[in-house]
């Protein structure tokens, strides 16, 4: 009988776990929807922005700007985006691994690597083995453009001051709900804009104030736009990954409950059989006596 | 040339306005400027201030905050960080933001990095308050 009780207790425990994972799945699903909407809402902005930048760069020709300065790299800086909380499968692990690969690769090439992080998981992993330039946590759940602008304060001025020579973002590329891919994106120096041959080059714009001044402001904004997109994709990816992880966990719980119930029924049956045998044995003994 | 002019305002949070208009005045970086149909192609910076959209004899006001505008003869494309229609502005919050920024500004030395941030915040708050009053 003890075995029966044990199994029953286990079933109850697993059922409770299932309840939790199912609730977490639903929370993640609603957060995912919001994060995905954010990502999609940003698209028109980033697309129009890129178009404007291309046209401008196209009409001024190969403008040079301090943010485009290509230097012989000695020191590189990378920003790693992770989530603040776990329970989202291999999401953070994949990002951290990508960062480790990146660091090893750059070090093998004889470069110094500096790391910035956003998200608790990345910070916790690297804080003991690495001097982190600036670690931000609890910012990705709810962010707007001012976060990207704030983060770029740690990126653009030191780059211009030649404190480092290249800047990368390691973030999660959002492919779809179930496919997350860590991606390393080179942000600085900005790639020289190609002069667009096909698009209405013949349009002569009036610039207000001047083309140079506009470009000077657009280029830092390009960094903001890239950061914002990386934030949005990472945050959508995190919730997508958590949704999938919790869905898996719920399904595992169901499998376990099924197995345990089977075991429970078998044990119960065995107990009944044993009891019957006892009774039958007893009556037989009585009849004989 | 088509007889209409369209305006589109896009922010990082999504598209805020898209439609046919008669004209628009934009708070440029070096002062306000008006755009009517047939305007010469222009690429300009948008500052912090009030944007006025003219449709028929109706005016609609938006508080906008830094960005760019691309004008072609029949289409105006605006990229701004934020754009709020006058009747959607939370006046209380704007007043609070103004007070906060004013306090900081009176406290901080002029050359502090925070000073500039608060100056911008103050301009933003004032723009929102002014826009909200214009109906």
pLDDT at B63: 94
Domain identity same for B117 and B77: no
Residue A56 touches chain B, beta carbons under 8 Å: yes
Reported as type and span, the H/E element at residue A259 is helix A211-288
Closest CA to A92 of A222, A182, A224: A182
Q: Does A217 touch chain B (CB under 8 A)?
A: yes
pTM of the model: 0.85
Count the domains in chain B: 2
Query: Is B118 a residue whose pLDDT tops 80?
Result: yes
Is the minimum CB–CB distance between B13 and chain A shorter than 8 Å?
A: yes
Asked whether the predicted pLDDT for residue B78 surpasses 70, the reply is: yes
Are A220 and A257 contained in the same domain? no
Position B23 pLDDT exceeds 90: yes
Q: How many CA atoms lie within 13 A of A270 on its CB side?
A: 10
Distance separating alpha carbons of residues B68 and A214, to the nearest angstrom: 9
Looking at the structure, do residues A62 and A203 belong to the same domain, yes or no?
A: yes
Q: Considering chain B, what percentage of its residues have pLDDT values greater than 70? A: 98
Residues B71 and B97 in one domain: no
Its domain, for residue A263, covers 2-20+246-288
Chain A environment of B97 (Cβ under 8 Å): none
Chain A, chain B: beta-carbon pairs less than 8 Å apart: 68
Domain range for B63: 5-87
User: What integer pLDDT is reported at residue A121 of this predicted model?
Assistant: 93
- Measured on CA atoms in the order A222, A227, A232, A236, is the torsion positive or negative? positive
Work out the angle at residue B29's Cα, subtended by the Cα atoms of residues B25 and B34, and round it to the nearest 5 degrees.
20
CB B131 within 8 A of CB B62: yes
The answer to whether the beta carbons of residues B13 and B40 sit under 8 Å apart is no
Q: What is the pLDDT of residue B109?
A: 83
Distance from CA of B45 to the nearest CA of A (A): 6
CA angle A160, A139, B86 (to 5 degrees): 90
Mutate to test the interface with A, among B6, B9, B10, B69 (most CBs of A within 10 A): B10
Same domain, A168 and A266: no
B62 and B101 housed in the same domain: no
Domain total of chain A: 2
User: What is the least distance, in Å, from the CA of A185 to any CA of chain B?
Assistant: 21
pLDDT by 10-residue block (mean), chain A, 289 residues: 84 95 94 93 91 76 73 92 91 94 93 93 88 86 88 91 93 89 90 57 74 83 92 94 93 95 93 93 87
Closest residue to B44, CB basis, from A48, A203, A208: A208
pLDDT at B49 over 60: yes
* Region B65-71 average pLDDT: 91
pLDDT per residue over B85-116, tens digit each?
998 888 899 999 999 999 988 888 877 778 88
* Structure ipTM: 0.82
pLDDT at A210: 81
User: Does residue B73 share a domain with residue B16?
Assistant: yes
Note whether A284 and A219 are same-domain residues: no
Q: Which element (helix H / strand E) includes A208?
A: strand A206-208
Do A93 and A203 have their domain in common?
Answer: yes
């Amino acid at each position: 009988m003890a075995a029966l009780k044990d199994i029953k207790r286990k079933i109850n425990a697993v059922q409770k776990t299932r309840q939790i994972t199912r609730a977490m799945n639903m929370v993640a699903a609603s957060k995912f929807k919001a994060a995905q909407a954010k990502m999609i809402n940003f698209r028109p902005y980033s697309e129009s922005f890129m178009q404007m930048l291309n046209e401008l760069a196209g009409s001024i020709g190969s403008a040079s700007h301090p943010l485009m300065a290509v230097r012989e790299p000695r020191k590189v800086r990378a920003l790693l985006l992770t989530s603040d909380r776990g329970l989202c499968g291999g999401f953070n692990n994949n990002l951290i691994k990508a960062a480790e690969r990146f660091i090893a690769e750059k070090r093998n090439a004889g470069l110094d690597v500096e790391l910035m992080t956003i998200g608790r998981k990345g910070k916790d992993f690297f804080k003991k083995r690495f001097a982190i330039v600036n670690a931000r946590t609890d910012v990705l759940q709810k962010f707007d453009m001012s976060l990207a602008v704030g983060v770029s304060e740690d990126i653009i001025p030191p780059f211009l001051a030649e404190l480092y020579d290249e800047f990368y973002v390691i973030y999660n590329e959002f492919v779809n709900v179930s496919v997350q891919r860590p991606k390393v994106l080179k942000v600085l120096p900005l790639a020289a804009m190609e002069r667009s041959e096909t698009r209405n080059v013949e349009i002569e714009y009036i610039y207000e104030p001047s083309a140079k001044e506009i470009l000077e402001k657009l280029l830092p904004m390009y960094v903001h736009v890239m950061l914002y997109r990386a934030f949005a994709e990472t945050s959508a990816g995190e919730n997508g990954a958590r949704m999938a992880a919790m869905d898996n966990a719920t399904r595992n719980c169901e499998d376990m409950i099924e197995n345990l119930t089977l075991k429970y029924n078998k044990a119960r049956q065995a107990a009944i059989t044993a009891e019957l045998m006892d009774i039958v044995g007893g009556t037989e003994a009585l009849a004989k006596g | 040339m088509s007889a209409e002019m369209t305006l589109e305002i896009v922010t990082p949070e999504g598209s805020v306005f898209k439609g046919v208009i008669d004209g628009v005045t934009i708070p440029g970086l070096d002062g306000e400027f008006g755009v009517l149909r047939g305007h010469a192609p222009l690429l300009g910076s948008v500052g912090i201030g009030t944007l006025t959209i003219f449709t028929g004899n109706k005016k609609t006001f938006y508080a906008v905050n830094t960005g760019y505008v691309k004008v072609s003869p029949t289409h105006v494309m605006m990229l701004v960080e934020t754009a709020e229609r006058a009747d959607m502005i939370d006046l209380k919050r704007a007043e609070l933001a103004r007070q906060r920024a004013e306090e900081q500004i009176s406290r901080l030395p002029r050359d502090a990095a925070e000073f500039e941030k608060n100056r911008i915040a103050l301009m933003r708050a004032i723009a929102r308050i002014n826009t909200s009053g214009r109906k």
